[in-house]
Amino acid sequence: MAIMKKKLVVCVQLENESVEEMKASMEKAKEEGADLLELHLDSITHLDTLINSRPLPTIVSYKPFKSSGSSIKTSCMQVLKRALELDVEFIEIDYEVASDPGMVEHINNRRNCKIIVSSYVRGGNPSAEKLGDLIAQMQSTGATLLKLEIPVDYITDLAPIFQMLTYCQVPLIVVAVGSRGLISQLLAPKFGGFLVYGSLEEKPVPGLPSLSSLRKVYKLENLNADTKVFGLISNPVGHSKSPFLHNNAFRHIGFNGIYVPMQVDDIKEFFRIYTGHDFAGFSVGIPHKEAAMACCDEVHPLAKSIGAVNTIIRRPIDGKLVGYNTDCEASISAIEDALRGAGGAGRALAFGAKTRGAKIVIFNRNYDRAKALAKAVSGEALPFESLDNFSPENGMILANASAIGMQPNSNQTPISKESLKAYELVFDAVYTPKNTRLLQEAAEVGAIVVSGVEMFIRQALAQFQLFTHGSAPEDFMRKLLEQF
């Protein structure tokens, strides 16, 4: 079977749609770059129609959407037996069903169809030992391929999955169910997986990359065991353009690395679990920049004085974590260049402004945090609610280092349009969208505006150098961002 000879197979799961919708989705999956379809069916009703019109090799899998009780087994047997008769490329059989005498007879008499034996792993956060025992039992069925579906609550739950992909003796497919499971697909080829799941652009699935991102951003067919893993540790993480920027730049210079979004809830636990040299470097985003300090074995002096890191490198010679801050110079230099006419972000911005001799006033929705930061930079703290009424002098600079205005809340702004008239320059660290409401309204009242895109690209260039130990292709990376 030709598809089994491919280095990497990209599959799309389709379910719970009418026949016409399913047929349209199958064509859309082919158009968006899928190699394989996985049809989830709860009855035999439309099986023949779908199989006869399939545009790609297909897995037939029984999923009981509506059936209940004893009818489940009957429906399951009908669907799978008919799929075998139609000689579909693959059928997926639950581990318990695979040993049923009635099913065994049909399996043994099949022609070309490959058998995937699957198991939905219950119980939460299974250990590598438990998964290994289950895989050994599933192998005894004589299946061509094995598949595990594992619900995950935290990104740290994925570590045993990578172990299984590396050491399993038969082809293993893994679906980590939930938004924290995304890197189980993106890193599967590095650890030995041959099949990854993607979603249709118009039908996103939590924990699965879109087919277009697999094609345009990640290009997983290039991964191998030596690929170094980099990622953005943040929560939320889906807004970031960093994967698009860094992955394209890695390929541009021929660097064997992949950069992935990592939705992390507990950064300390993340670094306790992921200790291998394969995980070579990290960008650190909201809300972890201050907490990341305690995870580092060493911290660069600038980052230490700021009290926040946005970049962590695992030093190759000893595996120690070294923290840096590339936000500081990026934000201040972007503002300075704008003022010259050249055309923890909050902590970095405040410390950068302090080094340039600026008078600093901190507004924060948490007033205690505002006071603590103001004290550290010899500034003044005021309640966030007083920002609209703050105008002691004209010609001020306003810097928004909060997430206010970030997609999907792009209609929000931290300050009224009328109050913006007191500012000569307005900087917004938010870069999704590029032209935030804050910047739009600032421009309308005549202020110089500095987009967060400029800070983003400058800090990313510095991170890229730390990741690769070489020069960043600045012109190339800036052209990439022009697409947004």
Q: How far is CA 242 from CA 75, 237, 295, 296, in A?
A: 46, 10, 22, 22
Q: Output the CA torsion 42→40→169→209 (10° steps).
A: -150
Answer whether 432's CB lies under 8 Å from 239's CB.
Answer: yes
Q: Pull the structure tokens for residue 226.
A: 């030596």
Which residue, 195, 197, 206, is CA-closest to 153?
Answer: 206
Residue 16 CB-half CA count within 13 A: 6
Query: Tokens representing 133?
Result: 């025992």
Residues marked as catalytic: 289
Residue 400, strand partner residues: 428
Do 196 and 12 form a contact (C-beta atoms < 8 A)? no
Alpha helices in 192-325 (DSSP H): 211-213, 242-253, 267-273, 301-306
Cβ atoms of residues 307 and 292 within 8 Å:
no
Beta bridge partners of 36: 11
- Strands 298-299 and 9-15, how do they pair? unpaired
At 300, list the tokens.
């660069």
Query: Cβ(189)–Cβ(220) under 8 Å?
Result: yes
Residue spans of alpha helices (H) in 307-444: 327-339, 345-355, 367-376, 437-444
CB environment 156-177: b (16+ within 10 A), e (fewer)? bbbebbbbbbeebeebbbbbbb
Structure-token pair, residue 138 = 């599933």
Please, which residues have CB within 8 angstroms of residue 159's CB and are 6 or more apart in sequence? 128, 273, 274
- Residues whose CB is less than 8 angstroms from the CB of residue 85 and which lie 6 or more positions away in sequence, other chains included: none
Q: Is the peptide bond before 261 cis (omega within 30 degrees of 0)?
A: no
Distance CA 212, CA 209 (A): 8
β-pair partners for 61: 40, 92
Token pair of 334 as six digits: 């972007």
- CB hemisphere CA count around 104 (13 angstroms): 8
Question: Cα–Cα–Cα angle for 171, 146, 17, nearest 5°?
Answer: 115
